[in-house]
Structure 1
Amino acid sequence: MPKPFYKRKRLWIPLLLLAPVAALLIYLALNPIPHFRKTVNFLLQHVAGIEEQQARVGKRRVTYYEGGKENPRKVLLLHGFGGTAQMTWMRLMPALAKDYHVIAPDLLASSFLRLNPATYSVDSEVDLVLGLMQALNLEKADFVGLSVGGWVSLIIALEHPEKVGKLVLVESAGLRTEIPELARLTLTDREKAKRFLELLFYNPPPLPGFVLDQLVKSSTRIKAKYEAVFMGFVENSKQRLLDNKVWQVRQPTLVIHGREDRVIPFEVGERLHKLIPGSEMVVLEKSGHAPVWDQPAKLKRAILEFLAAPNPPESLPANTPLP
């Protein structure tokens, strides 16, 4: 009998797949707390002017968070696998909304328990984002993608370059990497839950015991479904890895990567930077795969400065081979 995927020591997969698991488990841990989501929404709306909205995309109703509607320039924020827009971007959206019309949708991966492992892939997320842009009449936007959100952003930049202004790739997926310890870890008790957080964060949040217990409980409950969706995603998306294509990206691009990322290693971010012509790179010291928590101020400053900077002169049209 073959070993389950989380026990295999070597396995090549699309970048990211693994990081958002953390956001997912934290979300599952906090979600049962009464009124948690409503409380965060209230604070976002009344303190920062960020509102929860919904749009119809095909047969789906997509939840998204929106702020700065009075600003003409659009910025799309795309979270990672298992994360949510609220949990991922709530510390960044208020600052961005001061100068930009910011939109952060919940991707399909935010509710992976409803997904079909036989069909779910990175293209499912690409189609959702393109459908949302059409529903909201967004002809073009700057993209900020975390983990698998970066992978989605890259595909859209390559295949629909007219829709993407600037591109910010944070701990981005889309290239090949090995499954790290984080993905092979089974949360069976508090100590394993603490280890999980240590692998995700440079400075793990001091979660109380009852939250750690909920992480363990949630992990046990969703384990079989998660494995099926995860491996389905890997199998269905393997033809969309971009190692041999990212050199065609022509949008102004910023690669942001934490030096202590134990999910998508720092070397992968360096490789992505080297492969994308003219890209810039910001290295976040003392930061893991969750820079929105490890280094929020530095992450915010890097994104804001990049978005505000003038575009470099265009020397080559999109998809022009480099000499």
Structure 2
Amino acid sequence: MESHTIKGLERVGNIEIYFEYDRIDDSLPTLVLLHGFLSSSFSFRKLVPHLIKEYNVISIDLPPFGQSGKDYRYTYSFRNIAKSVVMFLEGKGIRKFSIIGHSMGGQISLQLIKSYPDLVDHAILLAGSGYQPGYSEKMKMVSYLPFFSYGIKRYLQKSGIEKNLKNVVHDPAMIDDEMRQGYLGPFIKKHDIFRALGRMLRDKEIDLLKEDLSDIHTPCLLIWGRHDRVVPLSIGERLHEDLPNSELVVIEDSGHLLPEEKPEEVYQLIKGFIGVATPT
């Protein structure tokens, strides 16, 4: 079957959400892809061509990243972002799906499952972050100061795209101009994202605690890169211990950016975990 990609912006409450919908067949299971911090649906570009062989795939740019809205009035807590994702999917008539969350997308996936357990069939966390506290009150107060957003912008510019990319992959030889532009692009077009990041700093809640995670019975596949320097394997091992219905798989010769580094292996693991629809 041939697929076609629908792209667009959808207003959900007081924010616009950018999506890419790779649709094959309405009878197939639906996968919802949520990217990580400072990223976008671009990070799944190597994984999606594999997934659309077996599934309907929706990639979402989480506010304020990628092409989604960066409205300063939006509440950028992970719980509210998860709510916006659910509202977006309901607007598309999607009320049952599996979710794939990379890094921060894993944190938001867990918030979504916790709040809406009946909507999610399976969860796949690709180096899903967790156990992070909220920011200090002092940091939150500082974020209100004039020019704070310029400070965030200056920090990211100083750290540099090359250094950041080398930190998230195991083999730096895979970094090319397409990759550099794909991750840097959204940050050179508008200053609004830096103001929104200040708001996100204030809105972020404490991650789900052990007792919260123990109440999640959705089947969870945790996939980790052996050499992840951003969200170390120890986080995956801890999540595996705290999530009662979870499985942990470690991929060798890989870092944090699993969808970029090992798309074929990730696809095979997802397919084995979820299965595929049986034609009627």
Q: Which residue of 2 aligns with 1:201?
A: 169
Summarize the Cα distance change of 1:267–1:122 in structure 2 as closer, same or farther, 3 Å threshold: same
> What SS class does the counterpart of residue 75 from structure 1 fall into?
strand
Q: Which residue of 1 aligns with 2:39?
A: 83
Q: Distance in 1 between matches of 2:215 and 2:174?
A: 43
Residue 278 of structure 1: how far off its partner (Å): 2.7
Summarize the Cα distance change of 1:62–1:285 in structure 2 as closer, same or farther, 3 Å threshold: same
Summarize the Cα distance change of 1:90–1:244 in structure 2 as closer, same or farther, 3 Å threshold: same
Q: Distance in 2 between matches of 1:256 and 1:121?
A: 25
Q: Distance in 1 between matches of 2:261 and 2:183?
A: 20
* 2:215 maps to which of 225, 228, 248: 248
> What SS class does the counterpart of residue 156 from structure 1 fall into?
helix
TM-score in terms of structure 2 length: 0.76
For the 8 Å contact 2:54–2:276, the answer to whether it is kept is: no
* 1:157 maps to which of 113, 118, 138: 113
CA offset digits 1:45-72 (Å, max 9, x no partner): xx85333244342344432112223333
Note the residue ranges of structure 2 that are not aligned, 5 or more in a row: 136-151
Q: Percent identity?
A: 24
For the 8 Å contact 1:63–1:106, the answer to whether it is kept is: yes
Residue type of the partner of 1:88?
Answer: S
TM-score in terms of structure 1 length: 0.67
> What SS class does the counterpart of residue 88 from structure 1 fall into?
helix
Q: Which residue of 2 aligns with 1:104?
A: 59
Summarize the Cα distance change of 1:110–1:69 in structure 2 as closer, same or farther, 3 Å threshold: farther
Q: Distance in 2 between matches of 1:195 and 1:164?
A: 36
Residue 232 of structure 1: how far off its partner (Å): 3.8
> What SS class does the counterpart of residue 109 from structure 1 fall into?
coil
Summarize the Cα distance change of 1:48–1:221 in structure 2 as closer, same or farther, 3 Å threshold: closer
Summarize the Cα distance change of 1:123–1:217 in structure 2 as closer, same or farther, 3 Å threshold: closer
* 1:138 maps to which of 91, 94, 98: 94
Q: Distance in 1 between matches of 2:53 and 2:214?
A: 33
Q: Which residue of 2 aligns with 1:306?
A: 273
Residue type of the partner of 2:88?
Answer: L
Q: Distance in 2 between matches of 1:54 and 1:216?
A: 20
- The alignment status of 1:266 with 2:221, answered yes or no, reads no
Summarize the Cα distance change of 1:308–1:120 in structure 2 as closer, same or farther, 3 Å threshold: same
> What SS class does the counterpart of residue 260 from structure 1 fall into?
coil
Residue type of the partner of 1:170?
Answer: L
Q: Distance in 1 between matches of 2:76 and 2:239?
A: 25
* 2:17 maps to which of 62, 79, 104: 62
Summarize the Cα distance change of 1:294–1:212 in structure 2 as closer, same or farther, 3 Å threshold: closer
Residue type of the partner of 1:62?
Answer: I
Q: Distance in 2 between matches of 1:258 and 1:65?
A: 26
Residue 294 of structure 1: how far off its partner (Å): 1.5
Q: Count residues with an aligned counterpart.
A: 259
Q: Distance in 2 between matches of 1:244 and 1:174?
A: 13
Q: Identify which range, 147-156 or 94-103, moves more after superposition.
A: 94-103
Q: Distance in 1 between matches of 2:243 and 2:158?
A: 41
> What SS class does the counterpart of residue 206 from structure 2 fall into?
helix
Query: What CA RMSD, in Å, does the superposition of the two structures yield over aligned residues?
Result: 3.8
